[in-house]
Structure 1
Amino acid sequence: MSNMFYDYLSEKIIKYFQTNIPDPGEKYYIQFENDEQVGELYSVLENNIISSSFVYNDIVRGQKYGTYELNFGKVQLIVAASRSNGPHPDFLATLRNLVGVDAEYINKAILFIHCSSLDSILGGAGSLSKEGMPLNISIIERDIKRKINETGYSDVDKAILEYYLDNKRKELAGSIASIFEYEDIIQCLSDSQITFEEYKNFELFPDDKLSTLTGKKLNTRLEENHSNFVKIAEIHSYGADNSKLENLYGEDGAKALSKPEWEKVPYSEIEKYISSKKNKATIEYYPIISDENLWDREEGDTKAKSRIRNILSFVSDTQEEVSFTLSFSEYTKSVGIEIPKAYQTFLKCVNNGKNFWLQLLELKIKLYLATLNIMIMA
């Protein structure tokens, strides 16, 4: 996790309590997802000028707990981290009960940072994530949007950040959102430019055309870019199925987008793949199934392999030649027929309407394994 992210959270918390000074005896908590996150914020909060050391001496248990407190005028906010290698929860619960009550703690409030549900500690404490508090998601979103407009980013980069923020809000609507969902964009608030390498962080392909657009056209292109990025990311999450990529972006697109660094492909290339796929007529091959002397099977299950046919012809001892027809859904052309030079004396291929007519000669002389390449031109 980046220090910038925790610096931001620390700043939000301190500014809130400087404006809304806690009353003696008040209790607050921040709940994170893991022990590392707890430790990061605990350390960053301590590193400021209003922090001073604090030691709780439990005479009954014969234990000491050293931490720190944040000074807000007449009230000191004790910060206690409940961690896997820290004090026992019962120990912290005793400290909580002293705050605002015991003579030595009469001007104290307390903030717990934890990653578990500890009722013994949190009873009566208020979350800093609830409505109106500094780490509330709605407040964080508004603050990020304000900071985006105050940065030195270009108008295009600001549009990217605002678009990403809006998508994040829609994505998390109706769910219990974590502040860590916003770490990437909070980290960017200290920068002044989004590099092409960073576009993937915002679920976008690098796109140099964005700088030529404004307003609705800019937003539309961001939507199209993002939509394609998400589609491809989802395909990769299930193992980069080439057939699915080919259905959307054609054979060339599938080759490029199946690679590990697919996020670096410029969006202009994605557009070309989509356009090529739309403009290319879908030609269907009709396998030979009615001739008992011919065996016709595809090379494999993928779309690319299905275009490679393995055809066996069973002939008698007296046959000198064999011919058969390959049928398609569209009219064929002679352009694209490639017969290797070694086969040209005995293998013939002629287009005829929606068919190719093939003839294999000199069967009595040799047994041939012939390769024929046909590129169907719509």
Structure 2
Amino acid sequence: MLTPQLVTLLSDQALIAIIVVIAAVLVAGTAGLVVSRRRRSQLPQATQPARLDTAEPTVGEDAEEPRDTPTRTLEDTELPAESPAATIEKPESAQGRLVRLRARLARSQGSLGKGLLALLSRDKLDEEAWEDIETTLITADVGVAPTQELVEKLRTRMRVEGVGGAQARDILREELIALVDPSLDRTLKVSRKEMQPAVVMVVGVNGTGKTTTVGKLARVLVAEDKHVVLGAADTFRAAAADQLQTWGDRVGVRTVRGPEGGDPASVAFDSVKQGIEEEADAVLVDTAGRLHTKTGLMDELGKVKRVIEKTAEVDEVLLVIDATTGQNGLTQARVFAEVIDVTGLVLTKLDGTAKGGIVIAVQRELGVPVKLVGLGEGADDMAPFDAEQFVDALLD
């Protein structure tokens, strides 16, 4: 029979056993939770779909393919197709250019020749008729002195030879050709010599078309299979270097340029140096446009020329004149010739005016030949000047 003391003792022991069991169960559960967390941390994370804007390779992507996959050789690899090369234009030949430009010149300058022929073909050439002839020539920018010289010769021949009509045209043609002076040396010195390229500087006032002239001249030389380098020494006008480089890229010609607002003489020097390294035939240097009244800017042209000559001789200094400016262009030419040794003239926009007499006036004033003429905005609208073809275009 259990005594009360024994019952109390057994109850205490049972309570203790229950507490121990509960504690054991709690410890075991906690340990299992920790192990479970550790295992989950060691497993690779589930691959999330790559976002399009931040697509990056994730761990394990390279395991999708077995490691024993054969390595591809260069021959087995499909390389990306090469980007198409820039299209290089082929400039028009000199012969085709001359034929087309002569026709264009005849259309734009024909009024001068027609006016003179109409006056010379009159039945009676009195003083009034000769005064009209003088007015026509002066209006066409031939200049006072050349006009008086031409009229005097025409009067003498017409009186002595007593001719008219078709003969009058022949006499006018002969005298105009003599006035334009075909004896002047109009060849461009653009051939490589003594292990150095020919160097051509292009100068003029703002807006005459110097950069365009350099680009068109490059096309003329490329058509003759010459190796050309362009120098963008016009560092003051915005986008001048870009414009010149565009001209060069079209015919596969290198353009040397410097920082905007940089030293033009430095760019010119680097251009010539590059031409020497490439064994080029010619280096064409574009210069900044400047008003002929700005003494400082004009003096800078002399500096550019002197810096170039530390490396190579300057073979040509081409002065670009806008034919539409008439006598103002003549004044510009006179000032440039005083500052730098001009060797040749380029007349641009000759198709936009009936005043072709500027050819005669500027040559007579400077004693320098017109070597190139521009007759339009097309890429190949420039050609060497020919005295006889010019006069024939006037009289056609």
Query: Normalised by the size of structure 2, how large is the TM-score?
Result: 0.24
TM normalised by structure 1 equals: 0.25
Higher RCO (C-alpha under 8 Å, 6+ residues apart)? 2
Greater per-residue helix proportion: 2
Higher relative strand content:
1
